[in-house]
Amino acid sequence: MHDHGHDHDVSAETRIRPLAIALGLIVAFMAAEVAVAVVADSLALLSDAAHMLVDAAALGLSVWAARLARRPAGGEMTFGLRRAEILAAQANGVTLLLLGGAIVVEAIRRLASPPDVRGGLVFATAVVGAAVNVAALWQVARANRRSLNVEGSFRHLLTDLYAFAGTAVAGLVVWTTGFERADPIASLAVAASMLGTAWPLLRRSGRILLEAAPEGMSPQEIADALRRHAGVTDVHDLHVWEISSGFPALSAHVLVGRDEDCHGIRRELEALLHERFHLDHTTLQVEHTSERLHDIRPLRNGRPDR
């Protein structure tokens, strides 16, 4: 006997307009920052621009995923296109990793031979960038932050705000003291924040693609809880995974006593999974223990005796 508990509307309420406005702000300032970074010969500004490129990708993903969430599942895509955001998150993490590594290499080179950095221009650009970043953060906060997709973009922008603060400090130091190594030192801090963001992103998206159990959720604990329920004799073929971020799912084969009410126990188990483990998309196959053993009668003339 089968039954499904569904909760497909994970991010359908995400407001797209604030995300699109934030994306426009980030892309416009990123283009201006690259131009200023070339004029000022500042690696820290280029590092910030690279980070903003990843932020723009994350925001673009948020807009895209929010639109896809409005499409009903159908045809061959029985879960819709929700996993597209996971594939994009993998690409996002790889980009962060590669850019962070490239910035570290260039920063080490500049520490050994620092260029002539125009500190005042770096400082002014970083201050304006921080203001643009705050405006973008405000827009993203207006969207549905209960969606992990939107929350990921928010975290990206927050990290970028810290990077702008470090770049502003470096520009001010170069401007007032002439200590030009402050610029590559600040770029190392930016690279560290990029690498620190990349690893959890790659790890989380990798777990989802490999269909591991959601973090903090123990399949063994769930199986034990189901087995302890009155009337249940055994639980096997239990699988717990995530369709996409914030969308866990479970399937299991449950055996109950010969005289138990399969439908009643199934409903009780679904309530248990919802209340204790916050699992709403469940597929439980519930059968009597005796269905495969005791219902086989002795053969008479080559046919089962019923």
- Among residues 209, 234, 251, the one where a domain terminates is 209
Number of domains in the chain: 2
Q: What is the pLDDT of residues 258-293, one digit of tens each?
A: 888 999 999 999 999 999 999 999 999 999 886 544
Based on the fold, state whether residues 255 and 288 are members of the same structural domain: yes
Residue 133 scores a pLDDT above 50: yes
CATH number at residue 124: 1.20.1510.10
Residue 219 scores a pLDDT above 90: yes
227, 259 Cβ separation under 8 angstroms: no
Residue 167 scores a pLDDT above 70: yes
Residue 50 scores a pLDDT above 60: yes
pLDDT of residue 69: 64
In a domain, 56, yes or no: yes
Residue 7 scores a pLDDT above 50: no
Taking all residues of the chain, what is their mean pLDDT, rounded to a whole number? 80
DSSP 76: T
Dihedral sign from CA coordinates of 36, 41, 47, 50: positive
Based on the fold, state whether residues 254 and 202 are members of the same structural domain: no
pLDDT of residue 73: 66
pLDDT tier, 149 (very low <50, low <70, confident <90, very high otherwise): low
Q: Which of 200, 174, 216 is nearest to 92 (CA)?
A: 200
Based on the fold, state whether residues 140 and 228 are members of the same structural domain: no
Q: Which of 234, 270, 255 is nearest to 3 (CA)?
A: 270
Based on the fold, state whether residues 42 and 159 are members of the same structural domain: yes
Domain ranges, residue 92? 10-209
Angle at the Cα of 192 (from 113 to 115), degrees rounded to 5? 20
Distance CA 12, CA 53 (A): 26
H helices then E strands: how many in the chain? Answer: 8, 6
pLDDT of residue 68: 72
In a domain, 177, yes or no: yes
pLDDT of residue 105: 87
Based on the fold, state whether residues 192 and 70 are members of the same structural domain: yes
Q: Which of 61, 55, 72, 67 is nearest to 16 (CA)?
A: 67
| E strand spans, the chain | 4-5, 232-244, 247-256, 281-288, 299-300, 303-304
129, 26 Cβ separation under 8 angstroms: no
pLDDT of residue 259: 85
pLDDT of residue 266: 94
Based on the fold, state whether residues 204 and 256 are members of the same structural domain: no
Residue 289 or 84, more confident: 289
Based on the fold, state whether residues 164 and 233 are members of the same structural domain: no
pLDDT tier, 9 (very low <50, low <70, confident <90, very high otherwise): very low
pLDDT of residue 8: 44
Q: In sequence order, what are the beta bridge partners of 252?
A: 284
In a domain, 62, yes or no: yes
Based on the fold, state whether residues 145 and 267 are members of the same structural domain: no
pLDDT of residue 35: 86
Based on the fold, state whether residues 270 and 178 are members of the same structural domain: no
Based on the fold, state whether residues 83 and 171 are members of the same structural domain: yes
CATH number at residue 262: 3.30.300.30
Q: Of 6-15, 141-150, 162-171, which has the strongest mean pLDDT?
A: 162-171
pLDDT of residue 121: 82
Q: In sequence order, what are the beta bridge partners of 284?
A: 252
Residue 27 or 7, more confident: 27
Based on the fold, state whether residues 248 and 195 are members of the same structural domain: no
- Please state the φ and ψ torsions of residue 82, each to the nearest 5 degrees: -65, -35
Residue 41 or 238, more confident: 238
- Among residues 186, 209, 232, the one where a domain terminates is 209
